[in-house]
Amino acid sequence: MSRFSFTALIIASLLLASVVHYRLHKQYDIQNVLISQMLYLPSGKYLKPATFGYYGVAADFIYLWSIQYYGDPGFHPQMEYLKHTYDIITELDPQYLDAYQTGALFMFSEGRNPKAGLQLLDQGLERNPKQWIFPLDAGFYCIMRLRNEKLAAEYFAKAAKIPGANSLAKRALASAQFKLGDKVSALELWKEVFETAENATIKQTAYQQIYELRVLIDLDVMRSAIQEYEKQFGRPPLNLDQLVSRGYLKAVPEDPDGNAYDYDTRTGLVRYPKQLTLYRKYQ
């Protein structure tokens, strides 16, 4: 028997066992009794010799089985084996990109094991350093599942540094930086997006972001200067030029269109006279 025929026989046997396992679950509703042999496979490192060089074929089979096992709502899969299953697949084929993403999805949702999900995506990037999609996915999971903007920003930054990364990485990083309170970094990132935009829609979005962030930064600078002036003199300045003459500002900022900001001499409040679109609640 040829090596290929022998390997095909092994895979066919595993497939038959999986089908039988599926039918028994459907027919008898057996829970936690007939656990598929697949869950007890050794690590990919030790399984490789048994594939006789057909690592990709074996990885494909286990991957398809895993989707059936963990994705079928009629089953009650043992989630403690989830990480082990996808470790096997990615050890057999370290370039199996879908396995890292699918495994992470199961770990964050069905398995409720975000730590393992991030570890799997980290492994995917380590073994495939050009795949910016892995840290990008990790960043979105940090926002949606962990509510951790700081960790998300770290992953987005990692994705944005990879050559050829989609501008979505920088856009996501800019959003995270803004939420962390760093408007200046967010502005610089949007400038980069504007200069390298893939299409007119992204370029227009970047332009609007740059415009409004400039307004918010100007307002922050002037409000901080007014506050310092009030601390020293016990009252707000009579006009914004006094902030320059007293050394609190180098120059009075103008909005991106070259117009003056509104200043109320009685209350000391400075504002942008128009309505912002993207950052309306922050102006």
| pLDDT of amino acid 181 | 96
At CA 256, angle to CA 253 and CA 259, rounded to 5?
65
At CA 192, angle to CA 150 and CA 277, rounded to 5?
75
Task: Give the start-to-end residue ranges of the domains of the chain.
Answer: 1-93, 212-282
| pLDDT of amino acid 67 | 87
pLDDT in tens, the chain (283 residues): 555 555 555 565 555 555 545 554 555 444 444 345 555 666 666 667 667 778 888 889 889 888 888 887 766 667 778 898 899 999 999 999 999 999 999 999 876 899 999 999 999 999 999 999 999 999 999 999 999 999 999 999 999 999 999 999 999 999 999 999 999 999 999 999 999 999 999 999 999 999 999 999 999 999 999 999 999 999 999 999 999 999 999 999 999 999 999 999 999 999 999 999 999 999 8
Sorted by sequence, the CB contacts under 8 Å of residue 258 that are 6+ apart come out as none
| pLDDT of amino acid 14 | 54
Sorted by sequence, the CB contacts under 8 Å of residue 217 that are 6+ apart come out as 183, 184, 187
Q: How many CB atoms lie within 10 A of CB 277?
A: 9
Q: Which amino acid is at 14?
A: L
| pLDDT of amino acid 225 | 97
Q: Which amino acid is at 188?
A: E
205-222 as b/e: b if 16+ CB within 10 A: bbbbbbbbbbbbebbebb
Q: Under a CB-based contact definition with an 8 Å cutoff, are residues 170 and 193 in contact?
A: yes
